[in-house]
Structure 1
Amino acid sequence: MVPSDSSPRMAPDMWAFEALYAQPPQLDGETLRAALAERLGDVELVSSGDTILLALRDYTVDYSDKKGVPSEIAIIRADQPLDAAEYASALEQTWDWPEKEAALAQCQHCVLVSEFMGRGLDTEERLEILQAVMHVLIANGGITAISQTNAGCLLDPQRYLQAHADGFNYYGVLNVRFFNISNRPGEMLMDSLGGAAFGVPDVQLHFEALDPAEVSRFLFNTGVYLVQHGDVIQDGHTLTSIDGQSKWPCQHEDALAAPERVVVDVRAGDRPTTGRG
């Protein structure tokens, strides 16, 4: 289904995240409904129990055969014990949480949270819902870590709340990953991950001599721009480089790092000339 905002976008993925708990989660459907209603207006508790389903009646999508279908939120308790090995990749690509390994080691229980029937909403509405749901679940208590599925990273729940209180509204929406290129000393690849949930490509940059911290800020800011405005960086367009002086041309290409997807590839001035990319 195509988002209803008019900016150029791919078909968006469904957003989802996993709330990880050290102790069995205490989740009451009516409590969560009331807390979400304070942020999102008219919220109906459709079902409770191991699966909690909440309908957001102020956030509706029109289909060709039915108008005004409410977006829904599914909160599902996993029926299997948590396996920390499944989060190895997210652990490796989490850069701002020194205690991440210790936190993950405590986690024993998982709750999957996802949108349902909501991909046709405007991007800002979907972001508003995602952030409201995350805030409500964290405030409900007991969450030790969050696995942000679309962005491929782990989040410290309290750091997430503080970042948003400080105005960093896209914290936790996108992640910037770092890879050393095997058998090519000095070559690095960095990319963003998370744009597909909002119908836009991620961004990648293959380089040698640049400062990874500066590249990270560049990729994050570019990724946010695409989430806000759509896939508006056309092939051959340029972006102002990190130094603010030169221009870096862009091209849509297959991603160099999994998952398979099309990304906006930024060609930096020091880009390696050997091999693909």
Structure 2
Amino acid sequence: MDQQEQVFEQDFKKEARPGGPFLMQLLFREPAQLPDKERMCSVMTRRLGPVECFWHDEKGAGFAAQNYHSQFKDGAVPPQLMITSCSSFCGADFDAFQKSQMWDCMEDRDRIFAECQYQVIATDLLAAGLSAKERAQMDMDFMEALVELYPACEAVYFQASGKLFPIARIRGHQIPSEARFVYFAVNARFFHIQGTGDMLVDTVGMGTLFLPDVQYHFHGMDPNWVVNHAYHMASYLLDNDNPIQDGDTIDGMKDGKMNRAIQWECRYEEALVQPVREVIDVCMGPYASGNRGQGEEV
């Protein structure tokens, strides 16, 4: 991870909405045709189990994922997976702040944004009633179906997290099924705090599953270690449906590795960096900034 020297102003106008739609933008150099209904049903069924196609025309397609059932007041309903027809895409709409955190695509980012002028948007609906694990699995299976259905896709942008992946990174991945959501759809960001030696690492993307993001305000530790800890923490929250209570402790790090002998305290706080949302703030003991640390360095 290269440290960025750009200076950004805070903008807390946009508030993250927990449980909002999971939205992917598939990017293309040339206009992409919607696959025929039979082809789409075949691929979607193989990836997600039985589906019902309730919409397929020049404007897009919609499928009910029948293996999943969201629980609402009026009963259980299958979530819907929606795919739009091809539309224009403008990479210039992404600002420097957004681009600075696209760690998985730094070398290809500008080329992708310059060459890709078309997009297909895909999202889930009526999925809020699924458990976090179920929704994560469904959305990642949906992603796998999409990149198979659209062989000309150049990259995928995950809107909730701001992650951009070249298509080869998705098609060639060896990520275990249960780890895909955190890998593809959760972003661990890194910032220097201007005028100080402090750093900040946080995640974005967990709110889609009604789970909290995590945040670290610190100094004196390799930020790559902290990013790894953030991803481990995000996976733990997803795997265990967030058992963390205010004031609980978690395993800290020593020499870049998790260490049970070191305990870091967790507090629910407002995020220090946009978007506005509640996060689990991890106090890193002697490495914590903001006069929160205790004890001696280990």
TM-score of the alignment, normalized to the shorter chain, above 0.5: yes
Partner of 2:202, secondary structure, is strand
From 114, 125, 128, the counterpart of 1:116: 125
**1:32 is aligned to 2:49:** no
> Deviations 1:3-25 (Å, cap 9, x if unpaired)?
xxxxxxx9622211111111111
Report if the CA contact (8 A) 1:90-1:147 is conserved: no
Matching residue of 2:287: 270
CA distance in 2 between counterparts of 1:177 and 1:109 reads 27
Matching residue of 2:265: 249
From 151, 164, 169, the counterpart of 1:154: 164
> Deviations 1:203-255 (Å, cap 9, x if unpaired)?
00011111011101000110111122223211111111111242111100000
Matching residue of 1:107: 116
Unaligned runs of 5+ in 1: 1-9
Equivalent residue letter for 1:27? L
After superposition, residues 183-262 of structure 1 pair within 5 angstroms as 183-184=195-196, 186-243=197-254, 244=259, 245-262=261-278
Deviation of the 1:84 alpha carbon: 1.0
From 158, 168, 181, the counterpart of 2:193: 181
After superposition, residues 36-185 of structure 1 pair within 5 angstroms as 36-48=44-56, 49-65=58-74, 67-77=75-85, 79=87, 81-88=88-95, 89-97=97-105, 98-140=107-149, 141-165=151-175, 168-169=179-180, 170-184=182-196
Deviation of the 1:256 alpha carbon: 0.4
CA distance in 1 between counterparts of 2:175 and 2:199 reads 33
Report if the CA contact (8 A) 2:33-2:85 is conserved: no
> Deviations 1:74-110 (Å, cap 9, x if unpaired)?
111364x312133334422121332222122211012
CA distance in 1 between counterparts of 2:222 and 2:134 reads 35
Deviation of the 1:274 alpha carbon: 6.5
Partner of 2:191, secondary structure, is strand
Deviation of the 1:195 alpha carbon: 0.7
CA distance in 2 between counterparts of 1:247 and 1:254 reads 22
Cα RMSD over matched residues? 2.1
Report if the CA contact (8 A) 1:90-1:153 is conserved: no
Equivalent residue letter for 2:283? R
Report if the CA contact (8 A) 1:35-1:136 is conserved: yes
Compared CA separation, residues 237 and 165, structure 1 to 2 (3 A):
closer
Report % sequence identity.
27
TM-score, with normalisation over the residues of structure 2?
0.82
> Deviations 1:104-138 (Å, cap 9, x if unpaired)?
22110122111011111122221222111111211
Unaligned runs of 5+ in 2: 1-16, 293-298
Deviates more, 1:196-205 or 1:33-42: 33-42
TM-score, with normalisation over the residues of structure 1?
0.88
Equivalent residue letter for 1:12? G
